[in-house]
Chain A
Amino acid sequence: MTRETALNLALALALPAFVASAYVAEEPFLITLATRAAILALAATGLNLALGFGGLVSFGHAAFFGIGGYATGILASHAQDYTPLMESPFLIEGTQAMLIHWPVGMIAAGCAALVIGALSLRTSGVYFIMITLAFAQMFYYFAISWPAYGGEDGLPLYLRSSFPGMNTLQPLPFFTLVFVVLILAIGFCGMLSASRFGLALHGARQTPARLVAAGIGPFGVRMTAFVISAMLTALAGSLFADLNRFVSPSMMSWHLSGELIVLVILGGVGRLFGPLAGAMLYVAIEHVAGGLTDHWQFFVGLLLLAVVLFARGGLIGLLAGERGHV
Chain B
Amino acid sequence: MAQLIAEQVLNGLQFGMTLFLMSAGLTLVFGVMGLINLAHGSLYMVGAFACAATAGATGSFWLGLVAALAAAAAAGALIERTVLRRLYARDHLDQVLATFALILIFSEGVRFIFGSFPLYLSPPAMLAGPVRLPGGLDYPAYRLAIILAGGVVAVGLALLIGRTRLGTRIRAGEADREMAAALGIDINKLYTAVFALGAALAGLAGALVGTLQSVQVGMGEPVLILAFVVIVIGGIGSIRGAFWAALLVGLVDTMGRFALPHLFALLTDTSSAAGIGAALASMLVYIVMAAVLVMRPTGLFGQNT
Contacts and interface: CB of A to CB of B under 8 A. Distances in A.
A291 to B, nearest CB: 16
A125 B92 CA distance: 7
B100 A297 contact: no
A279 B103 CA distance: 20
A274 B289 CA distance: 34
Nearest to B286: A138
Contacts of B281: 145
Contacts of A282: none
A262 B97 contact: yes
Given A254-B221, A298-B112, A301-B101, A131 B232 contact: yes
A133 B97 contact: no
B101 A305 contact: yes
Interface residues on A, range: 35 or more
Contacts of B221: 254-255
A265 B234 CA distance: 31
A320 B199 CA distance: 40
A304 B101 contact: yes
A302 B232 CA distance: 30
Interface in B163-215: none
A262 B36 CA distance: 16
Contact of B225 (A123, A137, A146, A302): A137
Nearest to A295: B108
* Residue with the greatest number of chain A CB neighbours at <10 A, chosen from B93, B94, B109: B93
Interface string A84-127: 00000000000000000000000000000000000110110111
A297 B100 CA distance: 11
B92 A129 contact: yes
Interface string B263-287: 0000000001001001101110011
B268 to A, nearest CB: 15
Nearest to A122: B297
A298 B104 contact: yes
A226 interface: no
Contacts of A144: 282
A305 B225 contact: no
Contacts of B97: 261-262, 265, 304, 307-308
A256 B266 CA distance: 37
A141 B272 contact: no
Contacts of B94: 308, 312
B290 interface: yes
A126 B101 contact: no
A133 B231 CA distance: 13
Given A57-B93, A309-B83, A134 B101 contact: no
A301 B108 contact: yes
Given A122-B297, A144-B282, A134 B289 contact: yes
Contacts of A129: 36, 92, 96
A133 B225 contact: yes
Interface string B222-258: 0001001101100010000000000000000000000
Contact of A305 (B96, B102, B279): B102
B30 interface: yes
B125 interface: no
B86 A297 contact: no
Interface string A254-271: 110010011001000100
Contacts of A261: 93, 96-97, 100
B74 interface: no
A119 B109 contact: no
Nearest to A258: B100
* Residue with the greatest number of chain B CB neighbours at <10 A, chosen from A59, A127, A147, A262: A127
B107 interface: yes
B112 A295 contact: yes
B103 A301 contact: yes
Interface in A236-265: 254-255, 258, 261-262, 265
A130 interface: yes
B98 interface: yes
B228 A130 contact: yes
Contact of A145 (B93, B98, B279): B279
B101 A147 contact: no
Contacts of B105: 298, 301-302, 305
A214 interface: no
A300 interface: yes
Interface in A32-46: none
A269 B97 CA distance: 12
Contacts of B93: 51, 57, 261, 265, 269
A130 B283 contact: no
A147 B293 CA distance: 30
Contacts of A134: 225, 228-229, 232, 286, 289
5 contacts: A134-B289, A138-B287, A258-B103, A298-B108, A304-B104
Given A125-B92, A138-B287, 13 more contacts: A119-B293, A123-B293, A126-B36, A127-B232, A127-B236, A129-B96, A130-B36, A138-B282, A138-B286, A148-B272, A297-B108, A301-B105, A305-B83
